[in-house]
């Protein structure tokens, strides 16, 4: 109330900041199971979060509707008018043409093909939008505010159901000629099956390292008398069980760690990359990170990349999306000025 009075009595153009003067951006993390949004101020500080299930939702227009609802909700939560929104950026779980703002293809979970996500967001929200692959966006987040802060060359490895890499070279994301750089799920290392895999099916590497692959290995090895863990355990439960000393689970953890170490070793040779950041639901498990680091260390000095955890965890993508939204707001500002 007193602020309102102060405001109205102010005769200069430089009004003191009230809540309604603040500007915001939205970062969005579009996933096959959840849609997560965060509202941040122009310093990148998150002021509100919102999420909703996307299980069973495939239609991009429905996802856009959910995002619009979520943005309204976030602005209300922050008592901010619609006009205070400056930009939005979204990470999508698929191959994304950043220049055109189009999600070229996602996995079978979403089934998107050639979705003009940027244009849909801009028309739904009336603000500039940017889109990128979700793993790339998580790498931006770790580079801005996480485990790779200030690093010019690193690889972010997201291990969840499958595995993907966000590659930062010379301080910039490297997305590749056809936007698929870092799609390493099909990589071949000692121990992976050599048979070609049908497109859309899990690749050789994620079959061993990814969450679904870990679960499948457990189901194959599982015997009622050899464990207290159920046959349908999750990857992180299986890795916990390994740390508790169960030999079956330890064998699976070791195989995953060895396979992951070989993949990291190969990438570090090719790119001469000194830092790898492990993220994603499965990648965040300390047992996997520790076992993988030990195997890398045994390989000697030729390529000895540092292996660390994501420090942003599940927020890496949201933070990256916020960073991208801030950049988008800035670039549109400089274009119009």
Q: 203: which 2 tokens? A: 């690749």
Q: Which of 42, 119, 122, 186 binds its own copies (CB under 8 A)?
A: 186
Region of 37-45, 73-81, 182-190, 313-321 interacting with its own copies (CB under 8 A): 182-190
**Closest separation in Å from C-beta 267 to its own copies:** 6
Q: Does 171 bind its own copies (CB under 8 A)?
A: no
Q: Which of 188, 243, 251, 314 binds its own copies (CB under 8 A)?
A: 188
d(CA 146, CA 120): 30
Q: Does 183 bind its own copies (CB under 8 A)?
A: yes
Q: Does 168 bind its own copies (CB under 8 A)?
A: no
Does residue 245 sit in helix, strand or coil? coil
Nearer to its own copies, 27 or 162 (CB): 162
Nearer to its own copies, 70 or 94 (CB): 94
d(CA 185, CA 162): 7
Region of 97-105, 128-136, 235-243, 264-272 interacting with its own copies (CB under 8 A): 264-272
Q: Does 107 bind its own copies (CB under 8 A)?
A: no
Nearer to its own copies, 174 or 222 (CB): 174
Region of 35-43, 47-55, 63-71, 197-205 interacting with its own copies (CB under 8 A): 197-205
d(CA 106, CA 96): 9
* Residues paired with residue 87 on neighbouring β-strands, in sequence order: 25
Nearer to its own copies, 121 or 263 (CB): 263
Does residue 24 sit in helix, strand or coil? strand
Q: 85: which 2 tokens? A: 């929104």
293: Cβ contacts below 8 Å, ≥ 6 apart:
307
Contact of 173 with 158, CB cutoff 8 Å: no
* Binding characters for its own copies, 204-243, by CB under 8 A (x = yes): ----------------------------------------
Q: Does 181 bind its own copies (CB under 8 A)?
A: yes
Q: Does 174 bind its own copies (CB under 8 A)?
A: yes
Q: How many residues bind its own copies (CB under 8 A)?
A: 46
DSSP 275-335: EEEEESTTTT-HHHHHHHHHHHHHT-SSS--EEEE-SSGGGHHHHHHHHHHHHHHHHHHHH
CA 259 to chain centre: 22
CA proximity to 325, closest of 18, 72, 29: 29
Q: Does 54 bind its own copies (CB under 8 A)?
A: no
Q: Does 298 bind its own copies (CB under 8 A)?
A: yes
**Closest separation in Å from C-beta 185 to its own copies:** 8
Site for its own copies in 138-167 (CB under 8 A): 152-153, 165, 167
Contact of 192 with 205, CB cutoff 8 Å: yes
Order of all β-strands in the sheet with 154-159: 172-174, 163-169, 154-159, 275-279, 306-309
| Residue ranges in contact with its own copies by CB under 8 A | 152-153, 165, 167, 169-170, 174-184, 186-192, 194, 196-199, 203, 262, 265-267, 269-274, 298-303
């Amino acid at each position: 109330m007193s602020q309102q009075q102060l405001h109205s009595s102010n005769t200069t153009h430089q009004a003191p900041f009230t809540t309604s003067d603040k500007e915001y951006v939205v970062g969005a993390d579009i996933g096959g199971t959840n849609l997560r949004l965060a509202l941040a101020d122009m310093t990148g500080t998150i002021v509100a979060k919102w999420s909703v299930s996307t299980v069973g939702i495939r239609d991009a227009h429905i996802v856009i509707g959910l995002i619009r609802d979520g943005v309204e909700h976030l602005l209300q939560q922050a008592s901010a008018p619609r006009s205070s929104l400056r930009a939005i950026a979204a990470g999508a779980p698929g191959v994304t043409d950043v220049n055109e703002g189009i999600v070229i293809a996602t996995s079978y979970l979403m089934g998107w093909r050639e979705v003009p996500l940027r244009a849909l967001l801009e028309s739904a929200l009336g603000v500039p939008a940017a889109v990128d692959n979700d793993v790339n966006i998580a790498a931006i987040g770790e580079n801005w505010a996480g485990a790779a802060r200030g690093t010019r060359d690193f690889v972010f490895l997201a291990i969840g159901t499958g595995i993907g890499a966000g590659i930062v070279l010379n301080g910039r994301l490297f997305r590749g000629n056809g936007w698929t750089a870092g799609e390493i799920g099909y990589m071949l290392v000692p121990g992976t099956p050599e048979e070609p895999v049908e497109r859309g099916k899990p690749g050789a590497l994620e079959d061993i390292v990814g969450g679904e692959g870990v679960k499948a290995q457990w189901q194959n090895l599982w015997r009622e008398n050899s464990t207290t863990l159920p046959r349908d355990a999750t990857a992180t439960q299986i890795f916990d069980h390994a740390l508790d000393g169960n030999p079956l689970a330890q064998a699976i953890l070791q195989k995953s760690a060895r396979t992951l170490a070989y993949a990291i070793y190969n990438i570090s040779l090719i790119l001469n990359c000194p830092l790898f950041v492990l993220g994603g639901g499965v990648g965040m498990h300390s047992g996997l990170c520790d076992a993988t680091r030990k195997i890398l260390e045994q390989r000697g000095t030729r390529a000895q990349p540092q292996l660390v955890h994501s420090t942003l965890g599940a927020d890496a993508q949201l933070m990256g999306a916020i960073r991208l939204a801030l950049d988008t707001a800035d670039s549109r500002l400089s274009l119009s000025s």
